[in-house]
Amino acid sequence: MITCPNCSSPVADDRAAFCPHCGRPLAAAAAPPTVPQPAKISGKAIASLVCGIPFFGFFTAIAAIVLGHLAKRDIRRSGGRLKGDGLATAGLVLGYGGVAIVVLILIIAFIAIPYLLRARMLANEASAIGSLRAISIAATTYAATYNNGFPPSLAALGPPSAGGNAASCNHANLIGRSLAEGQVAGYFFSYTGRQPVATEQPGCSRPGFRSYTAHADPVTRGRTGHRSFFVDPSGVIRYDATRPATTDDPPIGG
pLDDT of residue 254: 56
170 three-state secondary structure? coil
The model's pLDDT over 122-132, given as tens digits with 9 standing for 90+, comes to: 999 999 999 99
Residue 155 and residue 204 in contact, taking contact as beta carbons nearer than 8 Å: no
Amino acid, res. 182: G
Q: Alpha helix (H) ranges present in the chain?
A: 27-30, 43-52, 58-77, 85-146, 177-181
The model's pLDDT over 144-166, given as tens digits with 9 standing for 90+, comes to: 988 888 999 999 999 987 656 67
Quote the pTM value.
Answer: 0.61
The model's pLDDT over 22-44, given as tens digits with 9 standing for 90+, comes to: 877 776 544 555 666 788 888 88
Q: How confident is the model at residue 12 (pLDDT cuts 50, 70, 90)?
A: confident
Q: Point out the least confidently predicted range of 15-19, 110-114, 169-173, 245-249.
A: 15-19
pLDDT greater than 80 at residue 183? yes
pLDDT greater than 80 at residue 8? no
Q: Which residues contact 103 (CB under 8 A, 6 or more apart)?
A: none
